[in-house]
Structure formats: structure tokens, C-alpha cells
């Protein structure tokens, strides 16, 4: 057991990683691991990618941080990249996905109150996960996350995942917004149906409420498009992003469309570190690599290849894999057995995977993963299944 004074809030494996290159991680004993967790969908270009390393070196020698009372060039440049590649108008930079969701909640509440004092209800979905802050757990549809911290923020109402009937019954004139993940990550790689998303969009327009997509895990190329909403053809009013945006440095954002871009005014919301020149310069480099150097364009083909290999495993182990789940490179399988135990056995074999709810094992490789690396992961999974 590793001795330390870090607060015990994670079930950490008894391993210390000290370096990473591409899809490979190395611990302090020199053992090599194939990383199909990617920092939980953060390391979209893998470890120590030269584009990121060079951006870090260059900007750290120029300017790390200034207050948001002043402009910096990369804050402006990154906002331009995000808005030019979306259907949206303005960006607020945060340090994490949870903070992006907090900002989106405030945006919904203020937008509602410009119409009526009691238009303050926020809807969210069962099975969802939006972060660990008090606001984020108040819209997280998993009671286990909420119970120890009750009471949660009031006027947040849960809707049954993909139930159009339940959505319609709870979408009153008091609703100021609905926040959802188009593909639930922590919830088990389940995608919202087109009917559900279209109904949510129609109800928002009818009741002048905001549709917010949490794309923290499923966005920034993970589904094969820069933004997840592009895969569904439903344009939300607000998008929340983080994780892969910085490729490893902490940055998030919420992006607002034209009708919501001026709702928050000076004094309504703020951040000390959000949007500083260091993280924004790295994010610009990451997006350039993803968008302009073909990384995102290659995701669909890699996804199909991985799915075909997982289906072969399902045929080989029909009593252990019941379903292949997910989209793009947010992919995995429903396991007949303990996913936590499976993850531990995979780690022993030198493969990093992560589990989600409903007995789902997630595979989240870097977006520039090769077919040879996918083959190597499948071979290791095969060995785990043989002993599982």
C-alpha cells in the first residue's frame, strides 16, 4: 500500500505512473501499460504529444496568467475557433466540466427570470452525471451522488431517460432549461434517442426555455465530430465542454448561442484562472491538431473497426458480454459480472479501462489511436476474458 496524506476520496490502484508516450504509460517499476482510459477522455492526443509539449514550452516562457480584467491573445483566438466551428456566438472559459455546468445552470436561471420570477425549474435526466459540485450533483440523476449532501439545490426535477411521455408531463411553463448528455458516459454509454432530443428541442422553443448539452465527455471529437450535437442534428442553446479541450491541461467552457450570449453581464459570473493564456494556448494547439490535421475525421473508421473487434469478442464470450455500447471512441460493452473486478484484471495484464454504471466497461483511447493499438487492446481483453 502506498503511504500518503492525500484525502481518501478515490479507490486508487496501487500504482504510481511517472511517464507516458502516445497510448503508453509507464509506472515507477518500469512496467508498460496500454492506456484506453486517456485520463477519462482527457488525453485526446495521447501522452506527451509534441503539439501539446511545444505549446506548453512556448507559452510558459511568455505569459502564464493574467486577470480576466484584461484581454489575452489566446483567450480571443480560442473563442474564435470554438464559435466559428459551431452554431454559437460567445464563450465563457472555466477550469473544469463541473464549472461549465454551474455556469450553464446560472445562465438558465437568469434567462428564465427575465420572463418570470418563478420560471426557475431545471430538468435533468435519470442516469446522468454532471460533476461533483453542489450545483452539478443537483442535476445528476444518480441518487447515490445526491444522498450524502442533501438538501440539493431546489427546483431541479429529474426526467426518466429517453421517456418522451415523462418529459412532456414535467415540462411546464416554469421550466427555464433542460440539461442533458446526448451520450451518457458515467451512466453507461447510453445515447438519447432522436425522438427524445427533438421533443426536448420543441418543448424548449414552445416554452422559451434553454436546451443545454453536456458534452464534457462526449464532445471535442470523441463521437467523430468536433461537437457531439453535430451527430444528432439538434442544435442546443448552450454547450458545456472540458476534458479533451486542453488535451491534459485543465480547461472547460460553456458556449452560448445568439439569443443567450448576452444574458450574463459583468458581475453575474466570474473565474480567477478560467481562460488564462497558458491553457488557452494549449487548447488552440489541440484543436488545430484535431480539426486541421485530420484526427477527428479518422474517428468514425476507428470506431467501426473497434466495434467489429468487440463483436468478435462478444461472439467468443457470449456469456460474458451482453451488449456493445456507445458511439465514436466513447465505446464499451455491458459485462456479465463485476466491471470493477474486470478493470482490476485488465490492469494486471497491462491495459487501462474504466467502468460505468449498469455493468458497462468503457474504452476511451486517444483519438489518434492506431488500428495496431486497438488490436493490442483487444488481445489483452481476450486474455482477461479467458480468466474472468
SS3 352: strand
272 is in an annotated binding site: yes
141 is in an annotated binding site: no
Q: Is 295 exposed, middle or buried (0-12, 13-18, 19+ CB in 10 A)?
A: middle
State pTM to two decimals: 0.97
pLDDT for 70 equals 96
Q: Cell numbers 466551428 correspond to what residue?
A: 85
215 is in an annotated binding site: yes
pLDDT for 5 equals 94
271 is in an annotated binding site: yes
**How many whole angstroms separate alpha carbon 244 and alpha carbon 41?**
6
The residues, any chain, with a CB within 8 Å of residue 290's CB and separated by 6 or more, are: 44, 45, 220, 221, 226, 296, 367
**How many whole angstroms separate alpha carbon 167 and alpha carbon 107?**
21
Q: CA end-to-end span of the chain, whole Å?
A: 25
Mention the CATH class of domain 52-292: alpha beta
Query: The C-alpha cell of 324 is what?
Result: 456493445
217 is in an annotated binding site: yes
Query: What are all long-range contacts of 337-344, with beta carbons under 8 Å and residues at least 24 apart?
Result: 337/388, 341/388, 342/384, 342/388, 344/13
pLDDT for 1 equals 78
The residues, any chain, with a CB within 8 Å of residue 137's CB and separated by 6 or more, are: 130, 131, 145, 146, 149, 152
CA distances to 290, 319, 342, 357 from 335, in Å: 32, 9, 9, 11
CA dihedral for 61, 67, 73, 74, sign (positive or negative):
positive
From first to last of its 388 residues, the chain has per-residue pLDDT tens of: 788 999 999 989 999 999 999 999 999 999 999 999 999 999 999 999 999 999 999 999 999 999 999 999 999 999 999 999 999 999 999 999 999 999 999 999 999 999 999 999 999 999 999 999 999 999 999 999 999 999 999 999 999 999 999 999 999 999 999 999 999 999 999 999 999 999 999 999 999 999 999 999 999 999 999 999 999 999 999 999 999 999 999 999 999 999 999 999 999 999 999 999 999 999 999 999 999 999 999 999 999 999 999 999 999 999 999 999 999 999 999 999 999 999 999 999 999 999 999 999 999 999 999 999 999 999 999 999 999 9
**How many whole angstroms separate alpha carbon 181 and alpha carbon 159?**
13
Question: What one-character DSSP code corresponds to residue 232?
Answer: H
278 is in an annotated binding site: no
Q: Cell numbers 476507428 correspond to what residue?
A: 302
Q: Is 294 exposed, middle or buried (0-12, 13-18, 19+ CB in 10 A)?
A: exposed
Question: CA-based angle 17:93:71, to the nearest 5?
Answer: 115
pLDDT for 11 equals 87
Query: The C-alpha cell of 118 is what?
Result: 418563478
323 is in an annotated binding site: no
Q: How far is CA 300 from the centre of its chain?
A: 18
**How many whole angstroms separate alpha carbon 207 and alpha carbon 170?**
12
The residues, any chain, with a CB within 8 Å of residue 92's CB and separated by 6 or more, are: 103, 253, 254, 256, 264, 269, 274
Tell me how crowded residue 282 is: count the other CB atoms within 10 A of its CB.
27
Query: The C-alpha cell of 68 is what?
Result: 480576466
Amino acid at each position: 500500500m502506498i503511504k500518503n496524506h492525500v484525502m481518501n476520496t478515490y479507490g486508487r490502484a496501487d500504482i504510481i505512473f511517472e511517464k507516458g508516450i502516445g497510448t503508453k504509460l509507464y509506472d515507477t517499476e518500469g512496467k508498460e501499460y496500454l492506456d484506453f482510459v486517456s485520463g477519462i477522455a482527457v488525453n485526446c492526443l495521447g501522452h506527451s504529444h509534441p503539439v501539446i509539449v511545444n505549446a506548453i514550452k512556448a507559452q510558459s516562457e511568455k505569459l502564464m496568467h493574467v486577470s480576466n480584467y484584461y484581454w489575452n491573445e489566446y483567450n480571443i483566438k480560442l473563442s474564435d475557433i470554438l464559435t466559428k466551428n459551431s452554431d454559437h456566438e460567445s464563450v465563457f472559459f472555466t477550469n473544469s466540466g463541473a464549472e461549465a455546468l454551474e455556469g450553464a445552470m446560472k445562465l438558465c436561471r437568469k434567462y428564465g427570470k427575465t420572463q418570470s420570477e418563478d420560471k426557475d425549474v431545471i430538468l435533468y435526466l435519470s442516469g446522468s452525471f454532471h460533476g461533483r459540485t453542489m450545483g452539478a450533483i443537483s442535476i445528476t440523476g444518480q441518487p447515490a451522488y445526491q444522498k450524502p449532501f442533501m438538501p440539493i439545490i431546489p427546483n431541479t426535477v429529474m426526467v426518466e431517460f429517453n421517456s418522451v411521455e415523462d418529459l412532456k408531463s414535467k415540462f411546464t411553463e416554469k421550466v427555464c432549461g433542460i440539461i442533458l448528455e446526448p451520450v451518457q458516459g458515467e451512466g453507461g454509454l447510453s445515447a438519447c434517442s432522436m425522438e427524445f432530443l427533438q421533443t426536448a428541442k420543441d418543448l424548449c422553443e414552445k416554452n422559451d426555455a434553454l436546451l443545454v448539452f453536456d458534452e464534457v465527455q462526449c464532445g471535442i471529437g470523441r463521437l467523430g465530430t468536433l461537437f457531439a450535437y453535430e451527430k444528432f442534428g439538434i442544435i442546443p442553446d448552450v454547450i458545456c465542454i472540458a476534458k479533451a479541450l486542453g488535451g491534459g491541461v485543465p480547461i472547460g467552457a460553456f458556449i452560448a448561442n445568439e439569443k443567450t450570449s448576452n444574458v450574463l453581464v459583468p458581475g453575474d459570473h466570474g473565474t480567477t484562472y478560467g481562460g488564462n493564456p497558458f491553457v488557452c494556448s494549449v487548447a488552440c494547439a489541440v484543436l488545430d491538431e484535431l480539426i486541421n490535421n485530420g484526427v477527428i475525421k479518422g474517428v468514425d473508421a476507428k470506431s467501426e473497426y473497434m466495434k467489429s473487434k468487440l463483436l468478435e469478442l462478444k461472439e467468443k464470450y457470449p456469456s460474458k458480454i451482453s451488449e456493445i455500447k456507445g458511439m465514436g471512441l466513447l465505446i464499451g460493452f455491458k459485462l456479465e459480472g463485476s466491471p470493477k473486478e474486470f478493470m482490476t484484471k485488465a490492469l494486471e495484464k497491462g491495459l487501462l479501462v474504466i467502468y460505468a454504471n449498469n455493468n458497462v466497461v468503457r474504452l476511451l483511447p486517444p483519438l489518434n489511436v492506431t488500428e495496431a493499438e486497438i488490436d493490442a487492446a483487444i488481445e489483452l481483453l481476450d486474455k482477461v476474458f479467458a480468466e474472468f
